[in-house]
Amino acid sequence: MERRVNGVPEIVPPGPARPIDEKLAEIPLFAALGRDGLETAVAAGLARRYGAGQIIVHQGDPGDRLFAVLEGLVKVVLTTAQGDVVVLDMLGPGETFGELSVLDGGPRSASVIVVETAWLFSVSRPQLLALMRDHPALADEFLRVLGALVRRLTERAADMVSLDLGGRLAKALLHLAAKHGESGGKVIDRAFTQSDLAAMVGASRPAVNRALAVLAARNIISINGRTIVLKNIAELHRRSVR
């Protein structure tokens, strides 16, 4: 069934396969709340399903909610002043976004767009701050999450300077396989496009196509339609080291 929220289509499921609190309990940030805190968070928060292509938040919007991905896949997209598009990350079940804006109340630093139909849970900034006051362990975990985010962004910036396209692509493939891969993290069944992959590594789509073809010709990966199989992970790791 579909309805519209503020003019935007929202896909409403007939009912979740698992309770929201069970899914949140698998996310370290929310697990820090404990059982009572989780119940409070679920009662105060909002769960929605979104269809592929929907924009969950726009870059520059007020940063008034923290989101957790319960199901599906979303991409975090930054648009520069020159109009260039950079895909900062792909986020799947168990991951969160919106931490920085919620922390300082500033505008969103990037847009988040649904890649695969997604089920998201969110809490407002006032609700999150109230939960932190009542559950200090949440504040500690929130700081850990922010620290990891800053480290990833710093590493990403260093990679753009010190790795060539082949190295950045190898690192992106390893990253995607570790987070969203199948068969032990060796198979990437892509819901995202090659344009998305190009935007992740800071290159054009034709350049990424050529780099993928080189990896395939050297039997480091294989490509079958939208599926990429990592055949020589050790070589990908070697190429991804600065």
Predicted local confidence at residue 17, as pLDDT: 53
- Per-residue pLDDT of 47-96, as tens digits, reads 999 999 999 999 999 889 999 999 999 999 999 888 888 999 999 999 99
How far apart CA 52 and CA 49 sit, in angstroms, is: 10
How far apart CA 73 and CA 89 sit, in angstroms, is: 10
Predicted local confidence at residue 96, as pLDDT: 95
Predicted local confidence at residue 6, as pLDDT: 41
Predicted local confidence at residue 18, as pLDDT: 67
How far apart CA 229 and CA 222 sit, in angstroms, is: 5
Q: CA-CA distances (angstroms) from residue 90 to 87, 133, 143?
A: 8, 31, 21
Chain mean position to CA 24: 16
Positions in the chain short of pLDDT 50: 1-16
Q: What is the pTM (predicted TM-score) of this model?
A: 0.84
